[in-house]
Amino acid sequence: MRERRYYSGSVGMVSTARDYSHFGQMLVNRGQLLGNRVLKESSVELMSINQLGDLFGRNGKGKPGGEGFGYTVSVTLDPDAAMMPRSKRAFGWAGAFGTISWTESKTQLAVVLMVQQPTKSFPYEIAKVFSDAIID
């Protein structure tokens, strides 16, 4: 039997909550972490700008026009349409089993939730409660 290979940038990636929160803090700091430049400020800026126009569509529960896609992450264009508890231009990603993160430059907020629940709605419900408590 011939060995088959499947290359994917997201399958099998693992991290700790601490490392992921450091990554989020680096994004809030526009590419710097603990006094070290990790990414160019312009790279972080490009991550938070929709690069696909209206091609991204919707996230499965929101309405069209709510989200876009920056470099490597989804970008909130219209929080109401996206049905996401984030501010406009927040950016982040959700993974398997209830992992979700986002960064908000406007509020200097980096959120990392590692819920470990195999449902799609549970992490968003927690994120909404969390956001309502800290975001005006």
DSSP string, 52-78: STT-S---SSS-TTSEEE-SSSEEES-
What average pLDDT does range 108-128 have in this prediction?
Answer: 78
Q: Which residues of 58-78 are buried (b: 16+ CB within 10 A; e: fewer)?
A: ebeebeeebbbbbeebbbbbb
Residue 57's Cβ-count burial label (10 Å; 0-12, 13-18, 19+) is middle
- The total domain count for the chain is 1
With a cut of 70, say whether residue 119 has pLDDT above it.
no
> What is the pLDDT, as a whole number, of residue 121?
73
Q: For residue 1, is it within any domain?
A: no
What average pLDDT does range 11-23 have in this prediction?
Answer: 84
Residues composing the chain: 136
Q: Show the domain range for 93.
A: 39-134
The residues facing 12 across adjacent strands are: none
Q: How many CA atoms lie within 13 A of 16 on its CB side?
A: 3
Q: For residue 48, is it within any domain?
A: yes
Q: For residue 3, is it within any domain?
A: no
Q: For residue 15, is it within any domain?
A: no
Beta-strand pair 91-94/32-33: unpaired
What average pLDDT does range 120-135 have in this prediction?
Answer: 73
Q: For residue 34, is it within any domain?
A: no
Dump pLDDT digits (tens) for 34-92.
999 999 999 999 999 999 887 766 555 667 778 888 888 889 888 888 877 788 889 98
